[in-house]
Amino acid sequence: MAKGFSTQGVCLLTDGQTMLDDVASALRSHDFEIVRQLPPGENWCFGGPGVVVPFLPEVNGYAVVDVVSHPWPDLMGDPKTDAMTFGAWSMGFFGPLAFPGSLARAQQHAWAWEPGRTVPERHGGFIRIRTSYVLGGDDKSPIMPADYDPLAEMNFISRIVLVLFGVSGVTCYFNPNGEVLYDDASFRRIWDACRQQENIPLPLWIDIRLFNLDAQFGFLDTVGNGQLDISDVEAIFPRGEHEPGDIAYYLRNVTHYLLDHKGEIRTGEAIDGPGESNLSWTIEVLDEGAITPPRRVVRLCPKASQEAIPRALAAISRGSA
């Protein structure tokens, strides 16, 4: 999938009883303007009752906030047995980069908020927050403005998330594009700390996952960098030489590098390893990563381990999570 009708999309999981009036009231009380109210669609997949909030109205940029009284469809439908859900997913209504199984994977890798492994199992609905530049437009309307800024979008919808945590029935935050889960306290703690330090709140949008390839190598990757229009990052490392926490910090630093880097990164280029400055690691640019979801990645590993790593990667199946 790619960005289209929706350019970003996150959710708040609910008990299924949340009312649109409560959502609208919370937004208004925090100075978010509501320019339109939307009736429910013919099918919940394409939209529950919702409201439209201006983001960049001068370029037709708006956020749609709708309330769905149906559990998150983690399998994303089937073209034969559940064509409506499948069609909504294929058009990006559940997030432009969402992939089947995103909630299950987010639960499995909820290391930063361990209750996230079980809390979503009790949800009965969700509030969906999506940005778009084609609402009310015609076939010639651009999908995104010329000066499109994904970082500004993510900051804007994160502010909406902070407001809607206070709405009755909300249980937790779920970002299907980055496969991230947080409760109110954890989300707010990370948001506040990043703002104080003038850092991008990447942990709220992009997950880092840990796997063991074999007895020799560990593997970490990011999920969700595509929200910021950059590749995800994989790191393969000798387990005895690096701690997973150091590699996770390294992946965040590389993500910042990709955000700042204006030129094209190519396979075979050298890069500093974690905590180093001697260009001892190497880059491989791939159209698809080692582990679901499918997406473009930049794979990093020590030059000294290049020959042994393919054998370790062979043990990974495409469906691993």
Identify the domain containing residue 297 by its residue range.
Answer: 208-313
Same-domain status, 31 and 151: yes
Report whether pLDDT(311) > 90.
no
Per residue in 66-116, pLDDT (tens digit) is 999 999 999 999 999 999 999 999 999 999 999 999 999 999 999 999 999
Same-domain status, 162 and 254: no
Same-domain status, 171 and 240: no
Q: Span 252-264, mean pLDDT?
A: 90
Report whether pLDDT(290) > 80.
yes
- How many domains does the structure of the chain reveal? 2
Per residue in 161-176, pLDDT (tens digit) is 999 999 999 999 999 9
Placement of tokens 């509030």 in the chain: 127
Q: What is the pTM of this model?
A: 0.95
Same-domain status, 17 and 138: yes
Give the end of a domain, one of 196, 227, 244. Answer: 196
In the prediction, which pLDDT does 321 show?
A: 42
Answer yes or no: is 132 within a domain. yes
Give the end of a domain, one of 170, 196, 222. Answer: 196
Same-domain status, 251 and 176: no
Same-domain status, 186 and 259: no
Per residue in 195-208, pLDDT (tens digit) is 999 999 999 999 99
Kindly compute the dihedral angle of the four CA atoms of residues 21, 44, 97, 138, in this order, to the nearest 10 degrees: -90
Q: Is 65 left (phi over 0), alpha (psi -120 to 50) or beta?
A: beta
